[in-house]
Amino acid sequence: MPAPTPRCAGHPPTPPLLVVGVGADGWESLPEAARACVREAEVLLGGARHLGLVPSDVTALREPWPAPLRAGLPALLARHAGRRVVALASGDPLVSGVATTLVELLGAERVQVLPAVSSVSLARARMGWSAESTTVVTVVGRDLHAVLRELAPGHRVLVLSADERTPAALAALLTTHGYGASVMTVLGDLGAPTESRTEATAEQWSGPAPRLHVIALQLAGPVVSSWATGLPDNAFQHDGQLTKRDLRASALSRLAPHPGALLWDVGAGAGSVGIEWMRAHPTCRTIAVESHPDRAARVRRNAASLGVPRLVVVEGRAPDALEGLSTPDAIFVGGGATRAGVLERCQAALRPGGRLVVHGVTLQTEAALAQAHATHGGELTRLAIEHAAPVGTFTGWTPARTVTQWAWTRPAAEENPS
């Protein structure tokens, strides 16, 4: 089936915004239909490089993107309401591109996208890597530590770079985390006459890189972590306030992370539950609520080192610190369950079908959870963990504190759990 013809002058007025992807080889590589739309536009939006690719005989008003982009877009689009607007972007504008932001702001029905071949497709073609065998991570406007979630021996990763400084910073990060033997291939100006390719291991990387490039990583290093629940306790910096490995795995199995879901980690401590929630899928989100400033800072460090730097930390004490937070799909309460209003506020905040898991180690918390179970139902469990440890010249079992766990799901038809 042929691709649909872009709507330009003389066509119905919706969608009002057309986003045209431009390859690194510029204007001449655009299909004639796309060039016609650009010529007939009243307003052209884009970065300086893209606007400069358009021939001088195109008479449209040329507007650069605002900075910051997302905050400035509504006013920019409102200023040109009712006019034929074409936005120019690199490659496929829906691959870590501006079209994603425009669709989020305007809705898919008001944005039409005419993509070129993406830099991801070109990079895979140059490397001979299939889509099924490759993970894509973007660090454009984002924290480079996101790459650390992908560390695994033999794993292939394409990194969409922020600028010419990214390769050196990434090489240092990989080397620090035991992946210095990973092969980095920097593919510059993909599709352009100036296309280049530079290859070295992370520990041997040196020299400049083109501003426009994609980094292909063939990772080589030890097994340092896992996407399964229950990372070793020593994967986290902590001061003793840590949900331990076996208890964490039990909690996460009941919290049930899934793509795009939001967790509140209340009384986060070291942030281990919220961090593992986000590691379960790249689109999972966590808001960690922690009242102690040193622990809040530690949560941020742990999140970065384990590849989920997007984790949000709110410094404050529940229930007051929960006001105004986005509606969660699941909540974990690792501390503070006996504080007045905490459990009630968490239950009320959940979406229908949302999951709440609460841990307690004191008699007072256990009594509160037993009462909550009697009132609302759910699952009440006592978890007793023992580890083998030296007893003189022998080995014996050393018990940890027994933990009471209450797991509850808000009924789908219920509006108010009280």
Residue 12 confidence class, pLDDT cut points 50, 70, 90: very low
Show me where the domains of the chain are located: 17-117, 120-218, 233-409
Note the CATH architecture for domain 120-218: 2-Layer Sandwich (3.30)
Tens of pLDDT, residue by residue over 343-372, are: 999 999 999 999 999 999 999 999 999 999
Residue 16 confidence class, pLDDT cut points 50, 70, 90: confident
pLDDT at 413 over 80: no
Of the candidate CATH numbers 3.40.50.2300, 3.40.1010.10, 3.10.690.10, 1.10.357.10, the domain formed by 17-117 belongs to 3.40.1010.10
CB distance 126 to 289 below 8 Å: no
The CATH fold assigned to 233-409 is Rossmann fold (3.40.50)
Tens of pLDDT, residue by residue over 74-121, are: 999 999 998 999 999 999 999 989 999 999 999 999 999 999 999 999
Is there a shared CATH topology between the 17-117 domain and the 233-409 domain? no
pLDDT at 376: 97
pLDDT at 371: 97
Residue 414 confidence class, pLDDT cut points 50, 70, 90: low
Tens of pLDDT, residue by residue over 43-75, are: 999 999 999 999 999 999 999 999 999 999 999
pLDDT at 1: 47
Q: What is the mean pLDDT of residues 301-312?
A: 97
> Residue 20: how many CB atoms within 10 A of its CB?
27
SS3 sequence, the chain? CCCCCCCCCCCCCCCCEEEEEECCCCHHHCCHHHHHHHHHCCEEEECHHHHHHCCCCCCCEEEECCCCHHHHHHHHHHHCCCCCEEEEEECCCCCCCHHHHHHHHHCHHHEEEECCCCHHHHHHHHHCCCHHHEEEEECCCCCHHHHHHHCCCCCEEEEECCCCCHHHHHHHHHHHCCCCCCEEEEEECCCCCCCEEEEEEHHHCCCCCCCCEEEEEECCCCCCCCCCCCCCHHHCCCCCCCCCHHHHHHHHHHHCCCCCCEEEEECCCCCHHHHHHHHCCCCCEEEEEECCHHHHHHHHHHHHHCCCCCCEEEECCCCHHHCCCCCCCEEEECCCCCCCCHHHHHHHHCCCCCEEEEEECCHHHHHHHHHHHHHHCCEEEEECCEEEEEECCEEEEEECCCEEEEEEECCCCCCCCC
Tens of pLDDT, residue by residue over 134-158, are: 999 999 989 999 999 999 999 999 9
Q: What is the mean pLDDT of residues 311-337?
A: 96
Q: What is the mean pLDDT of residues 302-310?
A: 97
Tens of pLDDT, residue by residue over 243-273, are: 999 999 999 999 999 999 999 999 999 999 9
Q: For a pLDDT cut of 70, what percent of the chain falls above it? A: 95
pLDDT at 13 over 50: no
Q: What is the mean pLDDT of residues 196-215?
A: 94
